[in-house]
Every structure is written in structure tokens, then in C-alpha cells.
Structure 1
Amino acid sequence: MSEQSDPRRRYSSPVVDGLGKSASRAMLRAVGFTDEDFRKPQVGIASTWSRVTPCNSHIHELAEAASGGADAAGGKGVIFNTITISDGIANGTEGMKYSLVSREVIADSIETVAGCEGFDGLVAIGGCDKNMPGCLMGLARLDRPSVFVYGGTILPGENHTDIVSVFEAVGQHAKGDLDLIAVKHIEETAIPGPGSCGGMYTANSMASAIEALGMSLPGSSAQNAVSRAKHDDCEAAGAAVLELLERDIKPSDIMTRKAFENAITVVIALGGSTNAVLHLIAMANTIGVPLSLEDFTEIGRRVPVVADLRPSGHYMMSELVEIGGIQPLMKTLLDAGLLHGDCLTVTGRTLAENLANVAPYPAEQQIIAPLDRPFKAESHLRILYGNLAPEGGVAKITGKEGTRFTGTARVFGSEEEAQARILDGTVVAGDVLVIRYEGPRGGPGMREMLSPTSAIMGRGLGSDVALITDGRFSGGSHGFVVGHITPEAYDGGPIALVHDGDEITIDAEADTIEVNVSDEELMRRRAAWQKPTPRYARGALAKYARTVSSASTGAVTDLPDVR
């Protein structure tokens, strides 16, 4: 029977100490605890391992390495699982409505297990879009010494392909540019093994943001999924939690306002996903840090896009790994005064201290441009307002498809409707596709529009068609696209009032999105509008729709003012 004497055991001590906890100890002996283990700090290892998706199929081995690292440092690692889903598999189906919901389930489950079992510290290992911010939100709620580990990026497929190549091949076939044999060959070779989608899509964007935030060890965001470096990263994370416990450094000490500004800066510099806007605001809300859409605009005015990474660029994350990952970029941004160097990180040191001895990129590399010769002088993430989005919308506009678009509305009530009309040739140059009732409440679940945007690109309409939605986009989407439009259609937002044939203008320089319809006409349409019946009456989607907040506040389910 152990007695409380170690301040690092604040949470495990009430679970295992004293005669009254004999039953607890008996249960734990059955899963491998010894007398000595009851005197050690317990480190929960939250694993998102699953054979659902290649992004997470290797994470059990990483969890074992993290647990071993915690054990070697004097703790007791305890592995537990949380869920994951696959956006790449579910995209374009009704099942994709569960994607954003899974982020909340993951946060809930990590909080639930750690809160119940009395873990003193945690390592969370995520490898796909939603489980990464879900992990961070769970760690933030618990506010116990914690480290996040990224599961790592996948390697390129044959001929430099990836999952987006497969989606775009479908559009190329519809256009007549690829036959079925060629599409099948891309399908068979684009995903060569474990790891997250290979471009600067949402997983790699969020991994980079979390490292910049200070919640991962240096280098964690830019390692191949199957590599010695990733195994060592996990072992080091397990050990790092013991040091954080010794010093009582918690997520709330690290996830500060300045740290979130650092994360936004790095996402912009890398040309990252629009989903980073949604997830960073959600994570900030969870830890109690004020963060809003306007912060992305303000920071974006001074931070350029310097990475030539997919989807808008050429290179993949594995190629950035080869030249040093994001650490040299962060050092460059720090030296230019664009990062806050005094932010504390999970190393126990500041960001500036972590970066002090980082070497620059090789001189001959072409992936990261100099700050004075960027690919885009300001952010590609544009927060748009106007009579179509009075509470904001989020666009990812690199400038390659232009910065201003005026076209004619072609309105769809779901993603499936739009996809069918893109593939059959109904959608033509000059159209602005309006996909509505796909928001957090209306969908419910705020589906990604990767299938439609990929079909548009595959049909060669990337510069000739715009797409706006109260849903969201995959990090793999590119083109003239605007998502997260708020208020959403289900709440009676103006996007619900658009008719076929209305003229819509998107201006990514003035940061506006307008439908050319008079206020009087919009009022007349509003008077005739009726709120749709909820699509789900029971179950997880119905519960989510009743509790979720607006996309402009991160689409979280635990804000006090959630309706």
C-alpha cells in the first residue's frame, strides 16, 4: 500500500493509495502493475490507433514507444484508445457528417478516461485531421502536464501522387482526360502505406500549428510516419511528461494568446488548410484564450506564404522533412520578428531557446522561399464579410486562380447534388456554386467539400468556377472556394436566401463576399423562408446539432452560450 508523498502524483494518489484503495490496486495488478508502479506518476497514453485509415494504422507501435519512454523516465505508462474516422474514405457521403463530430467525441473521451482513471500526465498521439485538434482539446480541458505527438506523414505515391490525386482523377475521367484503367492505377498506387495525407493538408497543417504552439517536441510535425525519428519522438514525449510533472508545467502555461499567434503565423507561412482556422479557434476556446476570425486577418497582413507545398504548390510534406521540416522556417520567422520567442513549450524551454541552434535550409532547396521573395506577400487565408456572410466566411485563395470572381449562382441543397452536376457537365464556366444546409447544425456536421472541389479541378474549371458553402473544405481543396459562411443556412443566414441566377462577387483583396440583390429583396425572401426540419432526430448527429456553436466560434459543443 503506497502513501502520498510525491507531488507529481496529484491525480493517481487518490485512486491507488491507502487501504481503502485495495480494490483499485487489485484491478491494476491484473493489467501489469507492480507494487513499485503504484508509487510512480501515471502517464496516460491516448492512442488514436485504428485500422480504419492509413493515417492511424501504425499508431499502436508509437503508443508503445511513448509508454516505454514514460516508464524509462520513472513513470508508469498506461495506454488507452480513442476513436478516429477517415475523411478520405467518407468524403462525399452521408458518413462524412460524423467527421467534425468525431473531434468532440475524441476530446470528450480523453477527458473522460483521464479524469476517471486519475492519470497525472498525458501523451496524446494523433494522425489525422480531427483527432489532432480533438486530442489538444482533451488535453486542454484536463490541464495536466501533457505532450502531443504527431503520427507522421505518408510517403508519396507513384508519380508523386497522393489522395487528392485520386479525387482529381475522377474529375479528369469525367472530362475525358483519363480512362478507367488510368484512374484505377492512380487508386492502386497513390497511398503506399501508413501516415497522414502527404501535402500541406489539414493533418500536416495542424501538426505544424501544434508544434508552433509549443505542445509538441521540436521536429514532431515533420517526420515520416514510419521512421526511426518518429519512434524516437514518441519515446522522448513519454519522458518529457515526467519533466513537465516535475516542474508542474501544464497546457494552460503553454497554450497562451502569444502561442496561438505563433501557430497562426506558421500555418499562413506554410500555406495551410482553412480547417486550421476552425480548429485553432476551437482549441483556444477550450483553454480559455480569446481568439477570433479577425486575428487571422490581422496576422495575415504581415505574414507571407513562403511554402511551395500541395495542394496549391508542388511539393509534399515528406520532401519538406528531407530538408529539415519546419524548424528552419520557424527560426527564420523568429529572426524576422514574426514569432514570439518567449513562449514556453513542452521542452520546458522557450521557443527561442528551442530554435537557437537550428541550422538554415540547404541553399539549393526550392520548397521554402525567402521572406523577401514569397509566393504570396500576404496570407492565403482570407476572412470575408458582406451581405452573404455578415459573421464571416473563410477562403483559401493563393492568387493562382485570381483574387476576384463575379459569377452567377447555381444553388444546391447538398454536396451530392452539386457533385452530380459537376460531373455531368451542368456546371460551366462563370458559375458560383452555392452548397448550403451543410453547416454545423444544418448538415449536421459541416462536411468537407473535397469531392466537388476536386471534380472542379479535374474538369479544368479551377479558374472559371467558384464554390461557396456553409460547410467547409478539406486541406486538399484548392481553387476559388469560400467556406464556413456564417450564419449558416439552417439558422436563416443570407446564404439560405440566394436564388439561381443571382450575381455573386467574391473579392479576396477587399475581403468581401456579396450577392447583388437589394436589401428589400432579401427581406422579402427572408419572410418567405422556412427553417428546415432537422435531418436527424436521435443519435450523435442530432445531439451535435443541438449543442454545437457557430463555425465562427470553432463549432465547439461546450461553450456556455451554445443553443
Structure 2
Amino acid sequence: MSFRKAEWPRTLRSQAWYGGDGRDAIYHRSWMKNQGLPADLFDGRPVIGICNTWSELTPCNAHLRDLAERVKHGVYEAGGLPVEFPVFSPGEPSLRPTAMMFRNLCAMDVEEALRGNPLDGVVLLAGCDKTTPALLMGAASVDIPAILVSGGPMLNGWFRGERVGSGTALWQMSEDIKAGKMSRADFLEAEQSMSRSPGSCNTMGTASTMASMAEALGMALSGNAAIPAVDSRRRVMAHLTGRRIVDMVKDDLKPSDILTRSAFENAIRTNGAIGGSTNAVIHLLAIAHRIGVDLSLDDWDRFGRDVPTIVDLMPSGRFLMEEFFYAGGLPVVMKMLLDGGKLNGDALTVSGRPVAEEIAEVRNWNEEVIRPVARALTPQGGIAVLRGNLAPNGAVIKPSAASPHLMKHRGRAVVFEDIDHYKARIEDENLDIDENCVMVLKNCGPRGYPGMAEVGNMGLPPKVLRKGITDMVRISDARMSGTAYGTVILHTAPEAAIGGPLAIVQDGDMIEVDVEARRLHLDVPQETITARLAAWTPPVAEPGSGYARLFHLHVGGADTGADFDFLIGQRGHAVPRESH
């Protein structure tokens, strides 16, 4: 059934600023009017924030100014007053040490901007990997009506007749360089085809995954996730979103009405079906804990384990986001899950209708891109959560991007103490390593890097690549780019930098991996592990000041979403006092 609408008209939150003829109301209105706004725009109509992560330092989001204008058209048409404002934009390609370190900063920016300003609802404009979860986290904490519209993926890349997936092709070609299969001149020529239009990654990387998660959670209009950035229908989506947020304010439809336990279960299953990024694990945990839903790593394994991966997109498959959109996009995937009994059709969406009604009439226009279950890319997709004495709090692997023959493996550890140690050793021809070894990278978790960089998909040693080997088991407390692939075990918790068992792994230790059994085991006597942990000392000194210190002192583990401990939970939209 549809959402029960609130009585209208009613007194809006913004009227605490703009309503009446007192001194403070005149103060607030008069300053806004210096932008040329007519007096009747403050007569009690909804004031809609447009939270924009536009930045020329965030290439994925550099076209969002145009989308903001389209949102404004829709807001005005529906009888609202749109006001655009910027927030911190963590750009994945350039921001150091890693954009993930600043996801929480962006979420704080969003939360306080929404709480402290005269807004009745907000349209969230996102695109790049961390902007989508950050905006959803901030909006969840404040809980005023909110809806997200994505910037959309870039167009397909093409190089010499072959599809070029942003990120995925980069990892493949860089390995080919080390293996001697590709010249550096060809590599540089291919660069020109990797990013040929505005938008985010054209693979099912983290940006497209999180756009899909926003839609699967019900926080974006149906069909939002896959429309290419340069397609005119992306502008239409922004326009319609502007209209819809005004009605959401009138209905008082808030994130807490949408982001329910059922919504997160739907998102987990959808992530498995699309072959989504492992980064979604961390981000959905963080969003859930902001809104007050008890979500855990075990839920990821429980609800995603038996979901087949049916979307044949890089890095797991062949195609790119452009083909996914033409095939019907995420609504088709969700309809197939619903028909297979793997989706809760009663979950509410920002449309005010349950998801089952939203997707009832969709069709699959390309069964090569969105495969029937009988021809699934992987019978059991999703994210597998491994545990054992090497990862007491869990670690994750993406089976659809891994090599089947390595899903059960025992090998000798080759250890890299941090990313600099890895870079110093990996091309050394004297490094004692072969394809049967297990590569172990430490001190790259939330505190260790700091920020938990996407370095978990370590490139293989050149001498192994020259043998024609393209995959090895790799284990770390780091993350992996959503565009990457391989038998890569990530997010090992507790992380090495705080004394997790990963910290005491040594060269030559034997490690056992059994994905089917969900097991990750360091085959070393327990007394040896205990003695090593007792002798362990932290590798990283506490940062002196600034945001880095705040991050170090308050960031949680990957297994709980890597959010700040003081930001977990919903705080609402009340402000402590008036400004005058």
C-alpha cells in the first residue's frame, strides 16, 4: 500500500525562520531577498535544499551544476523554493591519502547543513564513490524528507574495437605491461579512451553500485541508477526528482520511513544480483547504523549468499553501464528478484509507493546483459563473509570477480608490512614467491593507511605474470576498487594497525582459505599467535592535530562501517537555539 500522507497544509520547519512579521523573520527573509527572490516565495511553501557535491576536483561530479538547475525547475513547478548549497566533495581519482578518509567528513558537512538551515526537504546530488553514501548518511542522521539523484555513468570506452571499462581496463592493462604483453605506447594511447564523457565509472564499480544501492533502498526514483550522465533522460530524472521532493515534504515522507530493515535486505540481495562492489558492505553498514537499523556483516552473508549474479557487467562480466541501461537497468533486476521470491515488494520508496508497484511493468530488453537466472554469471553471487583466527570480526570476498580454482586454497604467506613495503618488494626478481603463495598486505585499514585505501587488489609479481598467471589469493585489511577483480580477501577485521591477528602474520606462515565454508585460517599454533600478539607494537604514531587526529581517534572498524563512534545513531533536525 502507498504511504499515508500527512495533513496539508501544515506548518513547515522553514517557517521557524521565515514565518511571521517579527524582527528575526524579517532578518532571515530580507537577506534571502538580495538574490532577487519575490516575497511570496516565503509564504509557507516548502523550502527545498539541493545538496550539491559538484567540484572540478571530483571529475565524476563535475556536471552536477546542470542537474541542479533541472532539479530547480521541478521544485518551482511543484510549488517549492529551491536553494542550492555545496558540501565537501571527496573525489575518488585525486584525493589523498584516500577519498574514504573523508566520507565521514562529507557526511558531517551534510548533516550540519541540513540541521542548521531553514530546509523542509533536500535533493541529494551525488555521483563519485563516496559522495553517495556520505549524503545518505548525513540525511539519515537528520531525517527530513530526502531523495537522491545520481550524476550517472560515463559512456562506454572503446579501444581498438574492444570495450574499455573505466578502472577495470586500467588494472588489466597495467598487469599486461608487467607481463610484457602490452607496450607502454599502447597503454598511453588507450588512456584517451578510458573516460570519454562526463559521469562516473562505466563499470559496476563503487559509483554505479552505490547508485544502485540508493535505488534498491528506495531513496531514489525507479530507474535512476543506470541512465548515462550525458543522456537527456538523466536531466529528466533530475527534473522529476525536483517535483517529487515537494510532494514528499507535503506528505512528510522521511528517510526513516524508507530505510527500514526490509530495504537493507533488498539492497544486499540486489548487490549480489548486479555483482556490486565490496565497498557497498562498508557503506550500507554505516547508513544503517545512522538510521538505527541493526545491520551486520552476517546479514550480508545471510541475505546475499544464495543470490545469483545475473548482470553481465565488468569487472565480473563483459558489458558496461550503457548496455545495462538499454537493457532496462536496475528495475529489471529487482523485478527478477521479486519474481524469484528474493525481494520484499512491500518496502516503501521515495515515490510513496511500494517497490513492487514501481517495478511491476518493466521488461528485460537484452538477456545477454541481464541474464535469466538459468544462465546466471555466478550461481551464488553476493559478498561472502569469511571468519577464522585470521579474521575474528570478519573479512569479505566478491565471488563473482574471483577465480573458481582459488576459492579453496592453502598457501605460503608472502607478507608486505604496508603499501610502501609492497611497492619496494613486488618487482624484485629475487622475491621468494610463486602463484601458489598467498599475498598478505598489512596496515591498510581505517587507521592503518589512514582511511582504508583501495590497495587490496595488489598487482601480481612480474615473474608470476610472465608465466601466464593472472590471479593469486590476496589478503589485506584494505579495500578494493569496485572496478577491480580477482581472488581478493578484504576488510580483514580487526585491522593490523590496532593489533588484529593480521598484524602478526610472517613470511612462510601457511594460510587456508575456504570460501564455501566461510573460513580464513592462519595455520600457526595458538601459543605462537598469542606470543606474537603479546610482542606486537603499534606501527603508526597518533596524528598530531586536525581532521587526521579526529579520524584516528574515532573511526570504527570496517566490520561496522568505518563510521565515527560519535556519529552512529539518528540525531534529528532540531537546532539547539535560534540565532538571534
**TM-score, length-normalised on structure 1?**
0.93
Which residue type is aligned with residue 446 of structure 1?
M
- Go from structure 1 to structure 2 and tell me whether the alpha carbon gap of 1:453 and 1:36 turns closer, same or farther (over 3 Å shift): farther
Could you say which residue in structure 1 is the equivalent of 2:118? 118
1:149-181 per-residue CA deviation (whole Å, 9 max, x = no partner) reads 111011122221123312432222122111121
1:535-554 per-residue CA deviation (whole Å, 9 max, x = no partner) reads 63222222111111111110
Contact 2:47–2:120, Cα closer than 8 Å, also in 1 = yes
Q: Does 1:229 align with 2:249?
A: no
Which residue type is aligned with residue 552 of structure 2?
A
Could you say which residue in structure 1 is the equivalent of 2:216? 212
Could you say which residue in structure 1 is the equivalent of 2:389? 387
Which residue type is aligned with residue 22 of structure 1?
I
Contact 2:415–2:505, Cα closer than 8 Å, also in 1 = yes
In the alignment, the residues of structure 1 paired with residue 530 and residue 309 of structure 2 have an alpha-carbon distance, to the nearest angstrom, of 40
Could you say which residue in structure 2 is the equivalent of 1:520? 527
1:70-113 per-residue CA deviation (whole Å, 9 max, x = no partner) reads 111100000111122332345xxxx133x112211121111111
**Any unmatched runs of 5+ in structure 2?**
1-6, 570-580
Could you say which residue in structure 2 is the equivalent of 1:308? 312
Match runs of 1:99-118 below 5 Å? 99-118=99-118
Contact 2:415–2:441, Cα closer than 8 Å, also in 1 = yes
Could you say which residue in structure 2 is the equivalent of 1:495? 502
Which residue type is aligned with residue 379 of structure 1?
G
Query: Kindly, what percent of the aligned residue pairs are identical?
Result: 37
In the alignment, the residues of structure 1 paired with residue 567 and residue 157 of structure 2 have an alpha-carbon distance, to the nearest angstrom, of 45
Matched residue of 1:449: which SS? coil
Could you say which residue in structure 2 is the equivalent of 1:181? 185
1:497-555 per-residue CA deviation (whole Å, 9 max, x = no partner) reads 10011111111111111111010110111121112342632222221111111111101
Contact 2:457–2:474, Cα closer than 8 Å, also in 1 = no
Could you say which residue in structure 1 is the equivalent of 2:373? 371
Could you say which residue in structure 1 is the equivalent of 2:253? 249
Q: Does 1:442 align with 2:443?
A: no
Contact 1:168–1:458, Cα closer than 8 Å, also in 2 = no
Match runs of 1:389-468 below 5 Å? 389-398=391-400, 399-402=402-405, 403-425=407-429, 426=431, 428-449=434-455, 452-453=458-459, 464-468=471-475
Q: Offset of 1:245 from its aligned partner?
A: 1.1
Q: Offset of 1:462 from its aligned partner?
A: 6.2
Contact 2:203–2:483, Cα closer than 8 Å, also in 1 = yes
Could you say which residue in structure 2 is the equivalent of 1:151? 151
In the alignment, the residues of structure 2 paired with residue 8 and residue 532 of structure 1 have an alpha-carbon distance, to the nearest angstrom, of 57
Which residue type is aligned with residue 151 of structure 2?
G
Q: Offset of 1:269 from its aligned partner?
A: 0.4
Could you say which residue in structure 1 is the equivalent of 2:64? 59
In the alignment, the residues of structure 1 paired with residue 232 and residue 11 of structure 2 have an alpha-carbon distance, to the nearest angstrom, of 31
In the alignment, the residues of structure 2 paired with residue 88 and residue 240 of structure 1 have an alpha-carbon distance, to the nearest angstrom, of 32
In the alignment, the residues of structure 2 paired with residue 506 and residue 313 of structure 1 have an alpha-carbon distance, to the nearest angstrom, of 24
Which residue type is aligned with residue 109 of structure 1?
D
Could you say which residue in structure 2 is the equivalent of 1:538? 545
Q: Does 1:556 align with 2:556?
A: no
Contact 1:443–1:535, Cα closer than 8 Å, also in 2 = no
Which residue type is aligned with residue 337 of structure 2?
L
Matched residue of 1:452: which SS? coil
Matched residue of 2:39: which SS? coil
Could you say which residue in structure 2 is the equivalent of 1:260? 264
Aligned match for 2:73, one of 60, 65, 68: 68
Q: Offset of 1:283 from its aligned partner?
A: 0.5
Q: Which moved more, 1:132-141 or 1:159-168?
A: 159-168
- Go from structure 1 to structure 2 and tell me whether the alpha carbon gap of 1:461 and 1:433 turns closer, same or farther (over 3 Å shift): farther
Contact 2:90–2:103, Cα closer than 8 Å, also in 1 = no
Query: Paired residues, what number?
Result: 551
Matched residue of 1:223: which SS? coil
Could you say which residue in structure 1 is the equivalent of 2:488? 481
Matched residue of 2:493: which SS? coil
Aligned match for 1:318, one of 316, 322, 327: 322
Contact 1:107–1:135, Cα closer than 8 Å, also in 2 = yes
Could you say which residue in structure 1 is the equivalent of 2:97? 96
Could you say which residue in structure 2 is the equivalent of 1:331? 335
1:301-354 per-residue CA deviation (whole Å, 9 max, x = no partner) reads 331111211112111111111111111121111111111011111001110111
In the alignment, the residues of structure 1 paired with residue 85 and residue 303 of structure 2 have an alpha-carbon distance, to the nearest angstrom, of 38
Could you say which residue in structure 2 is the equivalent of 1:79? 84
- Go from structure 1 to structure 2 and tell me whether the alpha carbon gap of 1:69 and 1:181 turns closer, same or farther (over 3 Å shift): same
In the alignment, the residues of structure 2 paired with residue 8 and residue 81 of structure 1 have an alpha-carbon distance, to the nearest angstrom, of 29
Q: CA RMSD in A?
A: 2.1
- Go from structure 1 to structure 2 and tell me whether the alpha carbon gap of 1:130 and 1:171 turns closer, same or farther (over 3 Å shift): same
1:186-240 per-residue CA deviation (whole Å, 9 max, x = no partner) reads 1122110211111111111111111011000010001001111110111111111
In the alignment, the residues of structure 1 paired with residue 285 and residue 307 of structure 2 have an alpha-carbon distance, to the nearest angstrom, of 19
- Go from structure 1 to structure 2 and tell me whether the alpha carbon gap of 1:458 and 1:258 turns closer, same or farther (over 3 Å shift): farther
Contact 1:52–1:86, Cα closer than 8 Å, also in 2 = yes
Aligned match for 1:361, one of 361, 364, 367: 364
In the alignment, the residues of structure 1 paired with residue 134 and residue 66 of structure 2 have an alpha-carbon distance, to the nearest angstrom, of 20
Q: Which moved more, 1:427-436 or 1:450-459?
A: 450-459
Q: Which moved more, 1:170-179 or 1:455-464?
A: 455-464
**TM-score, length-normalised on structure 2?**
0.91
**Any unmatched runs of 5+ in structure 1?**
none
Which residue type is aligned with residue 505 of structure 2?
V
Matched residue of 1:383: which SS? strand
In the alignment, the residues of structure 1 paired with residue 356 and residue 8 of structure 2 have an alpha-carbon distance, to the nearest angstrom, of 32
Could you say which residue in structure 2 is the equivalent of 1:172? 176
In the alignment, the residues of structure 2 paired with residue 202 and residue 533 of structure 1 have an alpha-carbon distance, to the nearest angstrom, of 28
Could you say which residue in structure 2 is the equivalent of 1:16? 18
Which residue type is aligned with residue 393 of structure 2?
E
- Go from structure 1 to structure 2 and tell me whether the alpha carbon gap of 1:296 and 1:453 turns closer, same or farther (over 3 Å shift): farther
